[in-house]
Amino acid sequence: MMSHHVFISGGGTGIGLATARALAPTGARFTLVGRDGARVQSAAEEFESAQGVSCDVSDEASVNAAFEAARDRYGTIDILINNAGITPSAPLHCMDLATWNQVLAINLTGAFLCSRAALADMYAKKWGRIVNVASIAGLKGGPYISAYCASKHGMIGMTRALAYEAAKRGVTVNAVCPGYVETDIVTKAAENISSKTKLTEDEARAMLYAGNPQGRLIAADEVASAIAWLCSDGAAATNGAAIPMSGGEI
């Protein structure tokens, strides 16, 4: 792989940061974006060619400004990883509209805005990769996560549609669909469950991964290595896929 410019939303933590680490040996240059500019900037410091840029993916102007900053520093975009996401949970009958709208705005509209901003570069070069970090919740339901499930099902629908549009232009669009991954999201979910039930945090974590037949949390590195493969030339025939990564759960 040449020295590609990789734009990663939510790139300062968890799966996004693990993805940058997985792609770094290819000589890639990175624009890592996230809401907390200082955090993404400090994450960027571990890489030879990387910058951190503050960006709220749900805000059109903020996304366009981040892409401008990305191109100013490292040129056109070759690879986009739509990874930013939030996971509030509540029974649907108790969910307020603001939460519902925010989940869709960040998890789904954010991926739309970033994809739209990146595609012209990829189409001009007749080469590009978009990898959407969806979830097993994009392929099946689960209690208390209706907004999250809707956003991730939507993301997979967008993946499949855009894959058709991009197919003859050298660009592939795929999704990875992990079960519960060992990141801040799981730590917060376990704390939340533990605060609302009699379960300890360890018991709450075990409950989260009970659906995974391998009976374990997935490592961020495992997700990152699948993403890195999807970004390689060898994955050129894989387009519109939604790859489950949950030990055989689906």
By annotation, the residues acting in catalysis are 148
Tell me whether residue 122 or residue 243 sits nearer to ligand NAD (CB atom): 243
Contact between 233 and ligand NAD per CB under 6 A: no
Site for ligand NAD in 151-180 (CB under 6 A): 178, 180
- Phi-psi label, residue 122: left if phi above 0, alpha if psi -120 to 50, beta otherwise: alpha
- Of 81-89, 117-125, 194-202, 230-238, the window that binds ligand NAD (rule: CB under 6 A) is 81-89
Contact between 193 and ligand NAD per CB under 6 A: no
Work out how close the CB of 169 gets to ligand NAD at its nearest, in angstroms, rounded to a whole number.
26
Contact between 8 and ligand NAD per CB under 6 A: no
Q: Which of 118, 162, 185, 190 binds ligand NAD (CB under 6 A)?
A: 185
- The string of DSSP codes covering the chain is ----EEEEETTTSHHHHHHHHHHGGGT-EEEEEES-HHHHHHHHTTSSSEEEEE--TT-HHHHHHHHHHHHHHH-S-SEEEE---------GGG--HHHHHHHIIIIIIHHHHHHHHHHHHHHHHT-EEEEEE--GGGTS--TT-HHHHHHHHHHHHHHHHHHHHHGGGTEEEEEEEESSBSSHHHHHHHHHHHHHSS--HHHHHHHHTTTSTT-SPBPHHHHHHHHHHHTSGGGTT--S-EEEESTT--
Contact between 9 and ligand NAD per CB under 6 A: yes
- Of 67-75, 77-85, 123-131, 195-203, the window that binds ligand NAD (rule: CB under 6 A) is 77-85
Tell me whether residue 127 or residue 182 sits nearer to ligand NAD (CB atom): 182
Directed axis angle between helix 220-230 and helix 14-23, to 10°? 50
Dist CA 134 CA 176 (whole Å): 6
Q: Residue holding tokens 């990883």?
A: 81
Contact between 10 and ligand NAD per CB under 6 A: yes
Tell me whether residue 127 or residue 223 sits nearer to ligand NAD (CB atom): 223
Contact between 34 and ligand NAD per CB under 6 A: yes
Q: Which of 19, 183, 212, 239 binds ligand NAD (CB under 6 A)?
A: 183
Encoded one letter per residue, x for contact with ligand NAD by CB under 6 A and - for no contact, window 86-125 reads: xx------------------x-------------------
- Of 44-52, 55-63, 91-99, 234-242, the window that binds ligand NAD (rule: CB under 6 A) is 55-63
| Contacts to ligand NAD by CB under 6 A | 9-10, 12-16, 34-35, 55-58, 83-87, 106, 133, 135, 178, 180-181, 183-186
